Structure 1
């Protein structure tokens, strides 16, 4: 047995030695079970899913901007041989992330919160740094060695993850939190890369402060990956400023660019916050003006909207509901396809109507090692398509939620309210301050209401009592 154990140990050591690779950034050898080709394949697999999940923001000028700056920065990075792609997603969430193989994504929400090109460039360099330092690849290696697998972070409890449309491995990598050492390394690379293409990297530290204020104002944890498991904000701010000064000297950069006004003018007319045409929640009701339907959201339930699905989850995570499009030419075919997709075993079904619309209600079970999940699904034919509204809970909890599931689904109806159908999004407007005054007074003079003054102070990266010189450009909104 001792000889066998020793042989296994030697074999494991040989396999690990054979799996060592040189890190492009540090030049050190490290265990890696993910090859460059596998990284590229991960990115290629994830990209269409990400675009389908969030959608691309329809602004050719802005998409060109991120591509041009991204390619410029990739060319001076530690892995310039990769085929990088840079995209702006149509999401109001403040986020930026990268997946292996050279794919980098910024949301329009984070683009709205930058106040100059240098802030943008610092974060862009940070995200490219995660790719060049192979952070996601190393995380997967660690997860594989630990046999821990990968879990998708969702708005609902993990046991319901299989009901999401984003459970592929490529997307799972997005939600792995980078460790503090990885974040510090990406900060260093963000400073290096943005300095090398001529920007003042110290502005990245200022943007971190904006994000800290944003998370504090909402009472939520910071959303972007580069702030998850983040180092101490004060320490990080000082470190980035110090690194920026060192790199300016090292690169002999005497005229570091910030480009505030150019960046702000590019934001003119950009959609800010939720885009109503994609659906919105107001007073406990989800409205979708483009598809012309509505239904209620249970009180205190969390919700998450995307082009593919609208998800709702109970506060305790014991139940969820999800609206998606069902595949099929009839209610029966749509139900059958859904049962097969989620490996559900039908228990009972009933033809019915929902506010005059043809519908089919199905109760079905999913057997798992942890126990049985029970679902109630309503398939509703409306507007030439079939919608699936599915409620899920553990079988033992189903009776507690069945009435709530049923009443929500039976409240699905045509949207006819003109005020909802014609709802326009808020759009950023870039305006000059007419005279030297405080930011608060400048915002008030642009009809920003009292309860949103701090929101717009954060959006502008300023304090409300800060003096703003005449002619300074600031962000406000109009519908």
Structure 2
């Protein structure tokens, strides 16, 4: 027995020592069970899924801008051997994230909230820092391998319930929450990298304040930049101090900010939801291009992506999602979908939903899957509805214990699905950022009123501009307003 224990200890020591790799940033040895080639392979696998999930934002100038600045920064980073890719994805959510192997993504939502090039550059350096310090690789095994499948992940995690779908390894990386130490290290690298390409890194601290205000304004979750983050006040002061030190170290006497150049670049950018991809109004989801609508349960949150509409209560006790499903008939689509999700039908019947043919199915995860999850048994209600040459799946998921409580909520929403014919909804145009000039000295509030911005949106626009409503603006100042 003693020999076996010693042999086991020796094997463990050998495994750990053989997995130690030099961290490119710190130069120290880290225990790492993922090689660089595996990181690159994981990034290549995740990238097309992320692009499919969100879609790319169609603005060649902005895509060129993020790629040029990203490649410039990648060259001076600690891992300039990687083939980096930088993309703006078509999502209104305020977020930026990176996956292993050199893939960095900014949403149009975060691009809309930057107020100069230096803020953008600081966050860009922060995300590149996660890659160079191998934070994603360190976290991926804990975050991805522990998810335990679609249904379990959705029902147990409010984060996944809000953002998830069939979460593969690649898309699961979006949910990574770095430690406070990792966030501090990426802040430091963001300062270093953005300063090296000539920008005023202290502007990144100001943008973190904008993020904090936005989160407080609407309770919006910001998964990467603020998850597990240090205290905002401490972070603000630390980044300013680091920026001053880095500028002295690099002898940068005239750092770039690039306010007007950046604002002019985002003039005309879509702001908030793009109606053609679907939008919510008075708890009803409308999709003008696919010409359907349905009701979202009262007080439920939602997220809309090109692939799925995801809904759920804040406590994460249930989740409901709408997706397109393949199949030449309702029966074929239902059978394939249930099989793909590993669901066993309990009850099934053909129904009509507002004149549209449909199948309603109550189903449970297969017994083996339930046993593997070792959690409360789950139950689903799914309506498969045929409309306009497509078949839609509206699936509600909760525990067996809660199923009766949620059944009416699920079925009520699913049975509200109908053809969209309202011209106002079908022809809805997106809001866009408009860059305007303040004609004479005034406060931000006065400038917004002069451009006919309603008072009930002034606080939102103040955050969008990174200002306070009482701020005094000189004549000729450029600001953001929102117009159809």
In structure 1, the partner of 2:37 is 37
In structure 2, the partner of 1:472 is 477
Q: Determine if the alignment matches structure 1 residue 55 to structure 2 residue 55.
A: yes
SS of the aligned residue for 1:387 comes to strand
Which stretch of the first structure deviates more once superposed, 31-40 or 173-182? 173-182
Kept in 2, the 8 Å contact 1:42–1:101? The answer is: yes
Kept in 2, the 8 Å contact 1:180–1:231? The answer is: yes
Partners of 2:465 and 2:100 lie apart in 1 by: 32
SS of the aligned residue for 2:170 comes to helix
Partners of 1:265 and 1:274 lie apart in 2 by: 21
- TM-score normalised by the chain length of structure 2: 0.94
Kept in 2, the 8 Å contact 1:113–1:460? The answer is: yes
Partners of 1:149 and 1:32 lie apart in 2 by: 20
Provide closer, same or farther for how the CA distance between residues 43 and 272 of structure 1 changes in structure 2, counting only shifts above 3 A. Answer: same
Partners of 1:324 and 1:254 lie apart in 2 by: 54
Partners of 1:343 and 1:84 lie apart in 2 by: 37
User: Structure 1: any 5+ residue segments left out of the alignment?
Assistant: none
SS of the aligned residue for 1:264 comes to helix
Partners of 1:330 and 1:271 lie apart in 2 by: 37
Partners of 2:413 and 2:141 lie apart in 1 by: 43
The alignment of Structure 1 onto Structure 2 pairs a total of residues equal to 476
Superposition pairs of residues 347-366 of structure 1, within 5 angstroms = 347-366=346-365
Question: What root-mean-square deviation, in Å, do the aligned CA atoms of Structure 1 and Structure 2 show?
Answer: 2.1
Kept in 2, the 8 Å contact 1:151–1:172? The answer is: no
Q: Determine if the alignment matches structure 1 residue 99 to structure 2 residue 95.
A: no
Structure 1 residue 156 displacement after superposition = 5.2
In structure 2, the partner of 1:70 is 70
Kept in 2, the 8 Å contact 1:39–1:137? The answer is: yes
Kept in 2, the 8 Å contact 1:199–1:258? The answer is: yes
Superposition pairs of residues 254-293 of structure 1, within 5 angstroms = 254-293=253-292
SS of the aligned residue for 1:227 comes to coil
Q: Determine if the alignment matches structure 1 residue 440 to structure 2 residue 445.
A: yes
In structure 1, the partner of 2:109 is 109
Structure 1 residue 155 displacement after superposition = 7.2
Partners of 2:255 and 2:117 lie apart in 1 by: 11
Partners of 2:79 and 2:148 lie apart in 1 by: 26
Q: Determine if the alignment matches structure 1 residue 413 to structure 2 residue 412.
A: no
Superposition pairs of residues 205-284 of structure 1, within 5 angstroms = 205-220=205-220, 223-284=222-283
Kept in 2, the 8 Å contact 1:155–1:313? The answer is: no
Partners of 1:68 and 1:268 lie apart in 2 by: 19
- TM-score normalised by the chain length of structure 1: 0.95
Partners of 1:391 and 1:416 lie apart in 2 by: 26
In structure 2, the partner of 1:134 is 134
Structure 1 residue 148 displacement after superposition = 5.4
Q: Determine if the alignment matches structure 1 residue 390 to structure 2 residue 390.
A: no
Structure 1 residue 150 displacement after superposition = 7.9
Kept in 2, the 8 Å contact 1:155–1:304? The answer is: no
**Per-residue deviation, residues 159-195 of structure 1 (Å, max 9, x unmatched):** 9969953411122222121111111111111111111
Structure 1 residue 352 displacement after superposition = 2.1
**Per-residue deviation, residues 284-323 of structure 1 (Å, max 9, x unmatched):** 1111111110011111122121111112213443322211
Provide closer, same or farther for how the CA distance between residues 159 and 245 of structure 1 changes in structure 2, counting only shifts above 3 A. Answer: closer
Kept in 1, the 8 Å contact 2:83–2:102? The answer is: yes
SS of the aligned residue for 2:320 comes to strand
Structure 1 residue 244 displacement after superposition = 1.2
Partners of 1:372 and 1:238 lie apart in 2 by: 48
Partners of 1:71 and 1:161 lie apart in 2 by: 32
In structure 2, the partner of 1:380 is 385
In structure 2, the partner of 1:345 is 344
Structure 1 residue 448 displacement after superposition = 1.3
Partners of 1:149 and 1:361 lie apart in 2 by: 28
Kept in 2, the 8 Å contact 1:150–1:173? The answer is: no
Which stretch of the first structure deviates more once superposed, 327-336 or 363-372? 363-372
Partners of 2:404 and 2:241 lie apart in 1 by: 59
User: Structure 2: any 5+ residue segments left out of the alignment?
Assistant: none
Kept in 2, the 8 Å contact 1:150–1:172? The answer is: no
Structure 1 residue 265 displacement after superposition = 0.2
Superposition pairs of residues 121-200 of structure 1, within 5 angstroms = 121-140=121-140, 157-158=156-157, 165-200=165-200
Provide closer, same or farther for how the CA distance between residues 220 and 306 of structure 1 changes in structure 2, counting only shifts above 3 A. Answer: closer
In structure 2, the partner of 1:404 is 409
**Per-residue deviation, residues 323-365 of structure 1 (Å, max 9, x unmatched):** 1101101011101101110111112222222111121222222
